[in-house]
Copies of this chain bind each other. A is one copy, B any other.
Amino acid sequence: MAVHRLVATAWHNVLATIAPVLTVADGDTVITETLDAGGSDRDGVRRWHGPNPMNGPIAVDGAEPGDALCVEIVRMSPIRATGWTRSVLAPNVVDPQRARDLPPRETATWLIDGDAGTVRLEHSPEGLEHLVLPLAPMIGCFGVAPSLGQAFSTATSANNGGNMDYRGFGPGCRVWLPVFVPGALFFLGDCHAIQGDGEIVGTGVETSFEVEVRLSLDKRRSLEWPRGETADAIFTAGNARPLDQALQHATTEMLDWLMADYGLNATAASHLMGQVVRYEVGNVYDPAYTMICKIEKRWLPKRRGQ
């Protein structure tokens, strides 16, 4: 199981069936530096244009449609001392009449101290002088080539992943994505030093990271939507608008997962989900919104075959 270092020299603004820049074996690890959402690199030099330029694609040898690609986010190290955010709530996340009163949306700079593990505004407005946030790295946008020769902007998300902006997609998380094309064709970028739920200012703290991911295959594991696992929980992700529909997708995927892998029938799965499920909100800024359906492992029955 090799470790590859991918140095990107061109980037992509779509997730699509594009010739891979790297092919790895099932189980290999890839280390790569990402640009921020606007295309700037570790030195703040603009290398590509937005939205969300992606490194990749990386092909995984042996991946076939109908498999699942497991992406283990091993490590995310910030490699720039600054990040940026939009300064005002997006007009679509407040009441329509209230949106009219918001000030213009500008850009703010944040200082990232990787050693101290902190993130804070360079120029704090009055009342936020105290605000020192913990570094909480996450990958905003990652995914695989979609089905049918489709190509989706990295500004949105779908069943192949994409710009989900869920703060849970950080180190220690494993994510399974449905494979639609040979090699799977994995892309990643748009990393955040921290981000609240919903990405409601339209950004997290956008910066460059060195990311280490391990890519492996679950052969013939059919998924409709991305699934994930942390030390404590399993979860599914639905991407759609309105949030109601994203929630339907995530809930259905969890139902299917519990029935397929945990030996529960629909009633048993419903009992479990009804009393212990947690929903978390990814992006509510993009064309497609993201809803997470999560269950803590302590409530799960033993997984089949384990």
Within 8 A of B (CB), among A88-131: 88-103, 106, 108, 119, 121, 125-128, 130-131
- Asked whether, in the complex, the Cβ of B148 is within 8 Å of the Cβ of A13, the reply is yes
Q: Mark A275-304, 1 if CB is under 8 A from B, else 0.
A: 111111100100101000000000101000
How many Å lie between the Cα of A195 and that of B275 in the bound state?
A: 4
Q: How many copies does the complex hold?
A: 4
A244 CB to closest chain B CB (Å) equals: 5
A255 interface neighbour in B89, B91, B127, B281, Cβ under 8 Å: B89
- Asked whether, in the complex, the Cβ of B197 is within 8 Å of the Cβ of A277, the reply is yes
How many Å lie between the Cα of A187 and that of B279 in the bound state?
A: 28
Chain B interface: which of A30-38, A39-47, A201-209?
A201-209
Count of interface residues, chain A, beta-carbon cutoff 8 Å: 89
How many Å lie between the Cα of A125 and that of B264 in the bound state?
A: 8
- Asked whether, in the complex, the Cβ of A241 is within 8 Å of the Cβ of B244, the reply is yes
With A275-B85, A275-B195 in contact, is A94–B248 under 8 Å at CB? yes
With A102-B266, A151-B150, A151-B151 in contact, is A128–B271 under 8 Å at CB? yes
- Asked whether, in the complex, the Cβ of B198 is within 8 Å of the Cβ of A247, the reply is yes
**Which residues of chain B are near A127, meaning CB under 8 Å?**
262-265, 268, 301
How many Å lie between the Cα of A32 and that of B110 in the bound state?
A: 51
**Which residues of chain B are near A278, meaning CB under 8 Å?**
196-197
With A102-B100, A244-B243, A279-B280 in contact, is A149–B271 under 8 Å at CB? no
**Which residues of chain B are near A240, meaning CB under 8 Å?**
241, 287
A273 interface neighbour in B201, B247, B251, B289, Cβ under 8 Å: B201
With A14-B150, A96-B96, A149-B13 in contact, is A89–B274 under 8 Å at CB? yes
The 6 closest A-B pairs by CB, nearest first: A201-B274, A91-B96, A243-B243, A242-B242, A151-B151, A125-B268
Q: Which residues of A pack against B, CB within 8 Å?
A: 12-14, 16, 85-103, 106, 108, 119, 121, 125-128, 130-131, 133, 147-153, 194-201, 203-205, 240-245, 247-249, 251-252, 255, 262-281, 284, 287, 289, 299, 301
